[in-house]
């Protein structure tokens, strides 16, 4: 995936809280993230946009899984999933998430923590339209994270959906949504010989701050 797949940075910014508070430090952190992602994309990794996404259920029990980053801009970090999924149900109970990017060839890690909101229908529709038809049919065929009778069940459901939408565009199901993590903490880690390995940007109420952490 190229960085061109992400929304243009020149798009009008929403008047988010982030814009009103320390935009310089936040912009610095985002620029550093983008530079790392571009470097990771040039490394030939199969999934340079892969994220470990951690959520918790209503009792505070954590779980994690891999998702793909589909957009990043001043508003936050976006991934897509099904409202049926375990992660989406957890986010409904506790709309907070942690993201971990680790690019092994670079030995660089970025950690993002923040509140989670759903992206607009328009934004989700635009992403959906960019997906291959086979993937779109796969979303209709799968009630994510539910139990299946057996491995062939999914194939049969996929064929059913292919016939259902034969000769027409496949619409985005209302349960397929984008989620945006609006960061309040971004931490960078790089393995190096120097003593200072980590750098953390944090938002405390109305201010972004930047500090060094002991490795």
Ligand X SMILES: Cc1cc2nc3c(=O)[nH]c(=O)nc-3n(C[C@H](O)[C@H](O)[C@H](O)COP(=O)(O)O)c2cc1C
In angstroms, what is the minimal distance from the CB of 33 to ligand X?
18
Mention every residue, 6+ apart, whose C-beta is less than 8 A from residue 126. none
Positions touching ligand X (CB under 6 A) are 47, 50, 63, 65-68, 79-81, 85-87, 144-145
d(CA 67, CA 87): 10
Q: Which is nearer to ligand X, 66 or 207 (CB)?
A: 66
In angstroms, what is the minimal distance from the CB of 11 to ligand X?
22
Q: Which is nearer to ligand X, 79 or 201 (CB)?
A: 79
In angstroms, what is the minimal distance from the CB of 7 to ligand X?
17
| Sign of the four-CA dihedral 43, 45, 49, 53 | negative
Mention every residue, 6+ apart, whose C-beta is less than 8 A from residue 58. 90, 93, 94
In angstroms, what is the minimal distance from the CB of 204 to ligand X?
31
Q: Which is nearer to ligand X, 87 or 172 (CB)?
A: 87
Q: Which is nearer to ligand X, 21 or 50 (CB)?
A: 50
d(CA 66, CA 102): 12
d(CA 187, CA 192): 16
């Amino acid at each position: 995936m190229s960085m061109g797949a992400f929304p243009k940075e020149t798009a009008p910014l929403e008047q988010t809280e982030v814009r009103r508070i320390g935009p310089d430090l936040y912009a610095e952190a985002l620029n550093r993230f983008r530079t790392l992602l571009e470097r990771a994309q040039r490394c030939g990794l199969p999934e340079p946009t892969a994220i470990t996404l951690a959520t918790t259920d209503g009792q505070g029990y954590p779980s994690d899984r891999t998702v793909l980053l589909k957009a990043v801009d001043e508003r936050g970090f976006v991934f897509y999933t099904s409202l049926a999924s375990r992660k989406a149900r957890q986010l409904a109970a506790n709309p907070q998430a942690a993201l971990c990017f680790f690019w092994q060839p670079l030995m660089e890690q970025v950690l993002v923590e923040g509140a989670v909101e759903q992206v607009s229908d328009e934004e989700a529709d635009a992403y959906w339209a960019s997906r291959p038809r086979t993937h779109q049919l796969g979303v209709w065929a799968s009630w994510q994270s539910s139990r299946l009778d057996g491995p062939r069940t999914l194939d049969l459901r996929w064929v059913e959906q292919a016939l259902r939408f034969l000769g027409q565009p496949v619409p985005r199901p209302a349960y397929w949504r984008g989620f945006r993590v609006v960061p309040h903490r971004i931490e960078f880690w790089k393995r190096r010989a120097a003593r200072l390995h980590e750098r953390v940007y944090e938002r405390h109420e109305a201010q972004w701050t930047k500090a060094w952490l002991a490795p």
